[in-house]
Every structure is written in structure tokens, then in C-alpha cells.
Chain A
Amino acid sequence: MIKHLLSGGDLDADTATEILDTAAEMATVAGREIKKLPALRGRTVVNLFYEDSTRTRISFEAAAKRLSADVINFSAKGSSVTKGESLKDTALTLQAMGADAVVVRHPASGAPHRLANWVDGSVVNAGDGTHEHPTQALLDAYTMRARLGRLAGLSVAVVGDVLHSRVARSNVLLLSTLGAKVTLVGPPTLIPVDIAGALAPATDVSYDLDSVLPNVDVVMMLRVQRERMNDSYFPSAREYARRYGLDGPRMRRLPEHAIVMHPGPMNRGMEITPEVADSPRSTIVEQVTNGVSVRMAVLYLLLGGNNR
């Protein structure tokens, strides 16, 4: 097993499958009366969040607690970071406190990679800038496998703001490793020119959602990240929704078995309409549930043994 989980590209097919299989066993714990396992008793997991993310932080916290680890939540707001402490000094502090794993969310792409050089424990990337979010990709893969029974040979459309999406990058890397074919769909301004070739050679790019829909097993809608929209990437929200939003009529053009995914939080009415988000094809709520199981699997596989 690897020591850190920094990128969807860190995982080979066997390791990724081991994580998904372990997550399936972890999921059975959620159905029990006692949702607790003693596997990580005595281990300390630090959630080091430099960006707000209630959903991801709570998911990691629930996962660590279900494995009996001690959890320390560190939010940059109101901490020494606002007084000017560097990431390295924070890392050394965590090291001195004996953190066995650091789950880090950071606005700067690559911050978890740097952190991994400074701490002895495992580092899990919980989202770095516009770079990667590997546990999200794992939970997406887990959800696809659970709904459709396989990953190899699946055709997946990732739709929307690929430029700013760490979810898209990690998904392309992981899904390609696991044998799925990914098509990136969005306005040309939001799809970096060389991204498909740079991430995985078999990845396609399309600027026309309607032509892609009838041939896919999975549509993954990305959130339009208004907070990162510091430029004119598309004429208006309405224009975007008309060309790239998933509404009822578009959803009905999908094959019968196809599912709709969204990493959340959603902009209802922008990239996805309430009709689609609340339809039986939507896996959005399942993705949240599966996120805890997948993160339990990741924490167990990184920390559960003597892998040093």
C-alpha cells in the first residue's frame, strides 16, 4: 500500500480496486447498530483545512471516528496561520503532536505534496487548489461500480468547469486507470487545451453536451465555481445553463441505465435542475454516504498496518 494519497494518479489498478473492495466492507458497518470499528484505536488523524469545506471535513471526521481514531480538526481561520505561520511550521507542529495522518485541504495546488516531505505520517489530499481531490474520485468510482456493477468499459462524461475542477482531474486519472473512458465536456474556455492528452491519452474532449449524452453510462456534472470565476469564461449563467446544464429533457436522452452524478454542493438551476438532481438516476446522496466508506478504507489502508 502507498504511504500517501496525493493524486488519483498515485493509484495503480490493483491498489484502487483494493480501496474500493475495502470500502465495500466498510459500508456494511454503516448498516449496523454500532457503527464503530477498533482498527485505528490510538491513532491520531488531523484534519488540516485551509479552505472551508464542511462536507469533506465531516466525511473524513466521520470516517476516522468510525475507525476509533482520535481526530483533531484544524481550521486555518482563527489559527496561527492568520498570524503568518507557514505551512511548514504548521506541519512541524503537527509532527511534534504525533499526528499519524494529516488530511489536508489547501487553496494552493501542490501543498499536500510539500507537506508530505515535512511530516512522518501519511498525508491525504482532501483537495488542493484546482489540482486534485483523489478521495472524491474514489467515491465516484465506488458509486459507479455500486450502481452499474463495473468500471472497465464504462463511458463517463465529465461536464462543466473542468479548468477549475480538481474533481475532474482526479476522476480522469483514476477512471482511466480502472478502464473507463472519460469525455470532458464544457465550453472551450473552461477546458484547458492540452488537458486530455496530459492526464490520460484515451480521454476525449467535446464542446457539445447533446451529442455526447446518448452514448454515456455516467454523466458527472461539475459545480460552476463562481468564486473562481474571475474572468469572462461564458457570456452569462443563463447561457451556460442552456448549453451545458442538465435538465429533464436532456436527461431523457441518456441511455436507460445511465446515472447522473454531482460532487456537490450543487448550484440548482445552473449546472443541474432540481428535476434531475432529485430523480432516481441521481446518485448525489449516495455519493455522500459512499464518501464515508471510501475514506474509512483509505485511512485504514494507510494507517491500519505497519507500512512504514
Chain B
Amino acid sequence: MAYPPAARSSPPRQPSVKVILASADVQRVVDRIAHQILEKTQGAANTVLLGIPTRGTPLARRLADRISTFEDVSVPVGVLDITLYRDDLRRHATRAVGPTELPSGGIDGKRVILVDDVLFSGRTVRAALDALNDVGRPASVQLAVLVDRGHRELPIRADYVGKNIPTALAESVKVTLAEIDGTDEVKLYGGTHS
């Protein structure tokens, strides 16, 4: 027996987009991480924030800004470019090398907090640890991320997590920040929902 076509075929499946954090949420999350850093480091003394480009850089600056607002402590901020330390260079077209800018006091003997937007496989953080190794010898290294989406391929975990987002591998998390993209938002793309 033949069914009419409309009854047999399901409606077209649309890739879904879900806003996980809106602008106000992102600000709240950054504030919370700043508080956690102050608490865990007991006042953020002898601490340096190093942003991992692209979006780790403005995040690190925001954290330093919030820390100085909450406790009147000035935390030096730097940028750690990891391009040349990636283990997937050969899989992509050549990536442009960006600047690494360390604070004037350097990082030797300091508590370095690496800052990134999304923690996923852990390979970016591994590259960052290698890069750190070549530019100095911190007393300790911690990791702050806005979003942890899981699926680690290396034994790496973050010390400060803005939001844990359970994801499927097929999904992707996109962070936008006002300094770069004009708006603060965290969105989850992919997975197909009818």
C-alpha cells in the first residue's frame, strides 16, 4: 500500500542554534571567575594573566579589570601566541603568527593564569604550556576558561570554568566578545533537531 509522499517524509531538518550565555550572563560569569581567582590566589598577588589569542586576550583583560575593581589589585596582563606550538600545523593552511606580549616583569616565579574562551580537546592548552616553557619559568600555571565543552583528548582540566556545556562532538561552541565581534554571547551550533 502506498502512502502519500507528505506522510512518509519528515520535515527538513534544520541545524539548531542555541544561545547558552547572553551578554549579561557573560559579564556575570567573568565577574564570578574574577572572584574565584581572588579567592583561590588569596588576593591575586604575584599573579599574571596570559590570554590565548584570539578571544582569550580580551577575556584576560576583562578579568584583570574586574579583579582591580573588586580588590584594587593590579594584575599584569599579557598575550601568549601559540601558533608555532600547535600540533596540527600540517593539517591546515599556514596560520598567521601573532605577537606574544609578556608583561614587563616577565613570568619567572609568577603564578601564571592562562585564559581562553573554550576548553575542548586540551590541545591548545598543551601548546600554550609548551610556549610558556620557552618564554620563562612560572612558579605555577593555572587555567581559566569561559566555557568547558568536554571531549578532552589530553589530561588537562581548568582551574576556573565559567560554564560547563555538555556537548556532542558534532556540535560546536562559538564565543563572541564585544571587543572583537561587537557582542557578548555564547552559542551552541549543530546537532540536528526537527
Contact = CB atoms under 8 A, between A and B. Distances in A.
A305 B93 CA distance: 5
Contact of B97 (A1, A25, A306, A307): A25
B94 A37 contact: no
Interface residues of B, number: 20
Interface of A: 1, 18, 21-22, 25-26, 28, 32, 34, 36-39, 67, 300-301, 304-307
Given A306-B90, A306-B91, A39 B84 contact: yes
Interface of B: 81, 83-85, 89-100, 130, 133-135
B94 A26 contact: no
B79 to A, nearest CB: 12
Given A1-B94, A25-B98, A36 B134 contact: yes
B134 A34 contact: yes
B131 to A, nearest CB: 9
A38 B88 CA distance: 12
Contacts of A39: 83-85, 89
A37 B93 contact: no
- Chain A binding surface, main DSSP class: loop
Contacts of B89: 39, 304-305
A33 to B, nearest CB: 8
A237 to B, nearest CB: 45
A304 B85 CA distance: 11
Nearest to A38: B85
A305 B85 contact: no
Nearest to A302: B94
B92 A305 contact: yes
Nearest to A26: B97
B92 to A, nearest CB: 6
A300 B94 CA distance: 8
Contacts of A306: 90-93
B192 to A, nearest CB: 29
Contacts of A67: 84
Nearest to A18: B96
A22 B96 contact: yes
Contact of B135 (A18, A22, A32): A32
Contacts of A26: 97
A36 B94 CA distance: 19
A37 B84 contact: yes
Q: Which residue, B98, B133, B134, has most C-beta atoms of chain A within 10 A?
A: B134
A304 B134 contact: no
A1 B92 CA distance: 12
